[in-house]
Copies of this chain bind each other. A is one copy, B any other.
Amino acid sequence: MKNEIKIFSPGTVANVACGYDVLGFCLDSVGDEMVVRKTTEKGLKITKIEGHDLPFDIDKNVAGVSALALYEDAQPDCGFEIEIYKGIKPGSGIGSSSASAAGSVFALNALLNSPYNKTELTRFAMKGEALASQGEHADNIAPVLFGGFTLVKGIDPLEIISIPTPKELYATILHPQIEIKTADSRAILPEMVPLKDAIKQWANLGSLVHALHTEDYDLICHSLQDIIVEPYRSKLIPYFNEVMLASHNAGALGGSISGSGPSIFALSKGQHKAKEVEQAMRNAYSKSEIEFQTYVSTINTEGIKILSS
């Protein structure tokens, strides 16, 4: 029997331009690590948090809340202690809370010999995510647990679809070190949108799903447009247009805001191109006074990885 597991729980990009609230993909080069171990004493404890300052209280920590949802459902004859090594900065827009929320339930499930499937784990993780985003969403959680590109068709009932990942697709992320409150980035969106814009958006999402199936990079390029959400949210991100233009000029297929921002993502064909795009995005953002980080990543088709158990 395994008593301890160490995992890597990756960052994710939600929305992916035309897929607001439903589409996401999984990163590989940025994420959290977590160690979870069984204890004879019942209950859950967070025993260590490194990397960022987060609450140890189970009820106030997203990893704690999601783990508790699974724990109360499973009612095992043991307890668990959780160590969190945050690699993703909270509020970055690349799924920090989802990595924590999904990571703890994945680890508990593994130590309990996997009684739950990925969709059930998503449901537990959504409880943790809700603590961070005031609402149950799965568009960042699904790619952490399923890997690759995921489409959350609906959350009640929860239906998650794995979309194929073209082999040469790479992501470049630029994370400006500013804070955008999720509440603000939601409040800025209109309740009503023009039907003609919605039509363009679903045409783009339909063609993006087709392009991912057929590895059609030109069509991925033409489909990565967000005319509904980006025009509003991009105003909250200084130098957004400059970064997008730079990535476009460097040959990226396209990009947009990652999740609710402030991170910006671009997709490229091939690692070499993704690195050129990274350099172009860095050059563009250097003109601002804002500190930033960048990442280049494969699309992680596996999701959470077990580092040791």
Contacts and interface: CB of A to CB of B under 8 A. Distances in A.
Interface string A263-305: 0000000000000000000000000000000000000000000
A153 B207 contact: yes
Given A195-B228, A222-B153, A206 B159 contact: no
Given A151-B210, A153-B222, A206-B151, A194 B195 contact: no
Contacts of A207: 151, 153, 159, 161
B192 A195 contact: yes
Interface residues of A, number: 39
Contact of A203 (B154, B191, B208, B223): B154
A74 interface: no
A208 B192 CA distance: 24
Contacts of A21: 199, 203
Interface string A240-251: 000000000000
Contacts of A151: 203, 206-207, 210
Nearest 3 interchain pairs by C-beta? A202-B202, A198-B198, A192-B192
